[in-house]
Every structure is written in C-alpha cells, then in structure tokens.
Structure 1
C-alpha cells in the first residue's frame, strides 16, 4: 500500500453522533484506516466535534476533523463521499456533487440474512446521483468488518507482556483474578451481574469506564446497606471498590487503541452496539454482546442472527452456553448460575472465540472492501 504521508485521493466522511460513542467510533476508525492503509486523505465532518476530539486524541496527519453544523459552508465536494449510518448529506453539499461523485452510505452492522441481498445496491436520488448502500457483515457477500493491520500486534503485546500492558493502561496486573471489562447500555442487568461477581468462586476484577460509573453506583446501592454508603459517593476514574469477591475498578476514557488492548487483556468482555462488539471479536476472547434495545424486541432478532453465525462451527456441547449468556444479559435475566457456567467452561469459550476470530480474519476487511467497491464502480463507468 502507498505510504500514509503521501495521500493520492481525498474523501469526505459525514457522521452524526447518535449514541455518544458508536457512530463516531466507527467513523474515526474507518477514516484512520483509509488514511493509514490506503493513502487517502479524509475530511471527517462531525456534528459533535468535542466528542470526536476525544476519540481523535493527538489526531491523524491525514484525517481532518470538520465541524458539521446548520451553518457549515462547503467549498467543494470530494471525489468520494461516505455517509455513515444514513445520517444524510447537507443539501448545500449535495449541490456541489457531480455525476462523477461516488456516494456510499455505510450502514449499520447486522448478521441478519437480508443484509447480503441489499449490500451494494444503488438508490437513485432526485438530484440524479446514485447513493449506494454498503452493509458491513459477517460473510463474503457483505461489506465485511473493520479490521486494521495493527490488531495482531496488540494481541501479541497483551500475550507477551501482560504486566507491561496493564501498566500502560494505568492498572496493575491481577493474574489471580478473572479480568472482566464492562461496556453496556442502561437497560443491562448490572445489579444482577454485580451480585453474581460478588459471589464468584474465583476472584474477579470488573473494569468499568467512568461513563458507566453512575450506573454501577446505582446497582451497588441495591446490593446491601453497607454498599449504599459507598455508592452514595460519586465513582470516579481511579476509584476501587471491593465488593465481596469482586474488585470494581473505574478507569478513565481510553483511546481506541488502548481500548483494543484492554479487550485483549481481559478474560471476558461485555460489549454493546457496533464498535465495541467488533473490537471484542478481534480480541479473540469470550464476550457477551448487548444489542441496542428496540421496540417489539427487534434487537433480540439481531442477537439471534449473530448467535447463529457465531456458533455455526461450535461443538454441540458449546452451542448452548454463549446463547444462554447473551440472551440472559439482553433480556435482564442474568443470574449467578450464568457466571458460574462461564467459569466452568471459560477455556472452551476462549478456544471458540479464537477460532471464530481467525475464521473471520480470512475475509477482506471493511475498508479494503470499500476501496475495491469504489474502484469497480469507476471502472464500470469508463
């Protein structure tokens, strides 16, 4: 691939921040990968520039964050425009687009069967342009998953020198404990999870981002009168609470790469939505995914579709446990028995997670598929 510091193309990406992290998380990762691995300069237009800046950290020399407001003006349209999650393009920007502009809508990730049938389809617009739907997915007939070339190095770092990796994250290694990361929506049965970890037959360290600290504090207050006194105080980054057999550690907001490292270090990862879901897959560790809650339990259909894919090559004896864990977490029916079942079968679950990630990694990644898709569109126009 060409060097990232000598870009040969200029693309625009548009992103609206809907659920605080997922949309911008995916958009920033995609922008950086296109710059790093495909030598493309990116303008990333975001309607929440403050949150985007938290993700960007020190920034990227080939990715420019642009504030997207009602008052935004545009000097020109890029040769390729990526609209993320059907956020819509500004009318003023569309007026600058020509018939040669390639317009892709990078939509939400799902394992449902219909995705492959809609992936890559054009949608003619009133202005004469075609808007193509690009669906991420889990098989070769979809747009694939975000997967950067540096991910194997992170996994190697976590395995080779776990103590140093924990120190890099500002934490001490706890080899005697099962390290568990928690990232979830507010409807997750956090109180039940804390109860199960408190009664764990093995020590547990639950690593909680500061953004979820209020949710954990509320759940703690439901555990006992003793914990109510602790939970009445605001939980902040760096704070540690010992809740029977569970060490609860609150951490600050992590960069995306540091979050990837955390997932690789933990023995179990609770994740949600889209961005952390995919990162947990590449961490090759057991995970419990929580889809975004939707009316009429549509999110449970999405969960069932993913489990069918995730467990397609699992042994018969391993089929039931991941399904039971994720369904219990998504429906609010988590119990101590679920945690104890995880402990009993954690080695088998780890081996399956590693096999699944290795199997998926044989497919081209999403950024590469976007580039190939656009090249084919251009070739067909000539």
Structure 2
C-alpha cells in the first residue's frame, strides 16, 4: 500500500477528456519524478479504466494503490480532501476540487500551484509561460506552465535514460526480435517499408492503404488498435481485431493490440515511418528520431491548423526546400482527410532525407533541459 503518513511532494491531477494523451503524459511525468528524483508523487485520475489500457497493473476498483512507487488515487465524487502536497499540478485545464483548493490556502507555506498546459510551438507561448493567475477569493496564485520547443518555455517530457534505451534497442537484434514476438508476429520481408499507424478517424487512411497496395516495394503497416480501425476495416471489407493479418498486393497490414507505453516506444524506434496523433505519441515519435506524420487533434473552425503550421515552421527550417514542401503538403493533406498519389510519392521520395533530419532534430531537442527539470526549478523558485 502507498505510504500516506507524510505530505507528498507533488499532487498531479489528471482528468481523462478524450483518448490517452492526457493520462499518458501525466503517468510518464509522475513516474519520472518518482524514479529520477525520488519524490513522493500522488497521481489523481478520474478514469482508471482508461489508465489500465496503458498500465495493465492498474486496478480500477481501488481508490488507492501504488504503481512503480507512485501513489495512484481515484479522483472521485464526493472528494475526500487529504493534506495537499508541496506542489500541486493540474493538467490540461482540468478543474481541481474546490475543497482541495480551500485546503491549499490553509497551508503554510502554501503549495506551489501550477497549470500544465498543452504542448504548442505557437509564437505566443513564451509570453504566457509561467504567468500567474491570482485566485479571486483565496490567497493563492496559479501559474501557467507551457511545454514547448524553445528555451523560454517549459521544455519537453523526456526521461534521463530514454535516448540510451533507444540506442540499445537499435543495436540489439535480440530486443528487436522480442518486440516482434510481443506484438504477435515475425519480421516482414527484408526491404519492406515498415510503418506504424496510430491516428484519429481519417478517410485518408483508406486512400493511403490503396496506394501502398500498388507500391513498387513491400509495405508492412503495423496498426495498433485505435480510432483508425474503422477506416482500415472499410479498406479490408471485413471486421478486424488484434492479431489480424491482411495481405493485398505489396501491402501487409497487421492489427496490433493497444500497446502499453514502453512497448509503443519500441515500436516507434523500430519503424521507418511513424503516423502519430495528439500529443503523447507525437512527442515520442520525435524522440524516436524517425520520419513521422502528425494527425493533429481536430478543433472547431480549423483552429488546429495554426498549431500544425507553427510546428511545421520549426520542424522544416533546416530541410531542403523540396523536402520541406513535401512534408507540409502531406501533413496538411493527411489532416484534411484526403491523400492522393502525388502527395504520397513526393513525401516518400524524401524519406532518406527526412530520416537524417529526424536525427538532427532529436539531437537539438535533447540539448535542452527537459520538462521535469524546468518544472522542479520553477517550483523551487516559487516556494
């Protein structure tokens, strides 16, 4: 059982809004603060059933449990308020309980209260990073903390040993063979283009599968169970489940189970091209140092396109003009839901260049302090 006798160092609140990005990021951060900094972390999650998809050890029936040294609490109603931690992190604009906020105001010294926002490359982010927001009634300040790609933001989530683990995996035929066994298959034929596919609903998936079917080289598509499955089933003309294998022309599709985070990281390291979505898989694809395609979360009035373009402006800066144009064109077509042969072949022809670029991009990101380091530095300076 968790040790509840002492005041935690960090409370992290996670409200599962949609998909897995929010709990995925919160769990990675909580685990990192515990394993690398030996901090007492209490992670509050309202949907433990969703959390269990990422960590099968989680028991949704328990109000309190411990996983890898992190105290896991079910965020339930009515909320029984414990002693707040020294630092309180509400994530992705979730609203922590009013009773807990009132308890924070009674502490001396009062907790550092931080709102961890979504990752964005938009130009306005540095200007809003760490800005305070006074509570209207209580003697509390909440500070906004924005992850980002520049030195004047909150940085990016990255464990200390992540890059070393990736390099070990790349050098180990045994580890790669183990991954194939764990995902239920054998390696594809030598010379295949190995692609991971993780996306939201997108009619462009069927477009792309039809193109890969006629490709001049073998294509092996590894599709983890996700909201992309109906589009794959539409292409296949039949229901599919984890373990299914479909071959048509040059294309082989393997339907994988939903992978827990550590296995999914290895899948990204293994593939030649990664289609990712949202925030967590998007960031992990960058640490994988492989070419990628981002399916950004769609928003009303196409508000997500500005966020997509802001990242592309950074990501494409050092690419040759033709490659940058191909990346922009394909990513926009993918997010718009329609990919034609010209989009794909222009993009595919640039994959050798994009692979070298992905390595340089990852090295540049890794030269900066990570998110946990910047969070802890800010919290210490605010106490």
- TM-score between the two structures when normalised by the length of structure 2: 0.90
Range 163-172 or range 25-34, more displaced:
163-172
Give the Cα separation in 1 of the matches to 2:296 and 2:35. Answer: 30
User: Is the CA contact (8 Å cut-off) linking 1:290 and 1:326 kept in structure 2?
Assistant: yes
Corresponding residue of 1:103: 113
- Taking the aligned partners of 1:8 and 1:92, their CA distance within structure 2 comes to 17
| Contact 1:111 1:137 survives alignment (8 Å) | yes
**Alpha-carbon distance in structure 1 between the residues aligned to 2:39 and 2:7:** 6
2:143 is aligned with 1:158: no
CA deviations on 1:23-81 (whole Å, 9 max, x unpaired) are 11111111111111111121111110111133233463321221112222122111111
- Asked if the contact 2:200/2:226 (under 8 Å) is kept, the reply is no
8 Å contact from structure 1 (residues 28, 55) kept in 2: no
| Range with greater deviation from structure 2 (110-119 or 236-245) | 236-245
- Structure 2 equivalent of residue 141 of structure 1: 152
Query: Who is 2:13 aligned against?
Result: 14
Residue in 2 aligned with 1:4? none
Please state how far the C-alpha of 1:213 moved relative to its aligned partner: 6.1
**Which of the residues 241, 247, 253 maps onto 1:236?**
241
Residues 13-52 of structure 1 aligned to structure 2 (within 5 Å): 13-52=12-51
Alignment check: 8 A CA contact 2:274 2:292 kept: yes
C-alpha RMSD over aligned residues: 1.8
**Equivalent residues in 2 for 1:298-313 (5 A)?**
298-313=303-318
From 185, 206, 210, the counterpart of 1:191: 206
TM-score scaled by length of structure 1: 0.90
Q: CA separation in 2, counterparts of 1:329 and 1:214?
A: 16
- Name the residue aligned to 2:63: none
Are the equivalent residues in 2 in contact too, given 1:154–1:264 (CA < 8 A)? Answer: no
In structure 2, the residue matched to 1:377 is: 382
Give secondary structure in 2 for the equivalent of 1:278: helix
- Among 252, 258, 262, the alignment partner of 2:257 is 252
Q: Provide the rounded CA distance (Å) in 1 between the counterparts of 2:183 and 2:40.
A: 30
Distance 1:167 1:204 in 2: 19
Residue aligning to 1:173: 187
Q: How far did 1:194 drift? A: 1.2
1:92 aligns with 2:106: no
Match of 1:323 among 321, 325, 328: 328
Distance 2:82 2:34 in 1: 22
Q: How many residues align?
A: 362
Q: Secondary structure at the match of 2:130?
A: coil
1-side partners of 2:184 and 2:82: how far apart? 44
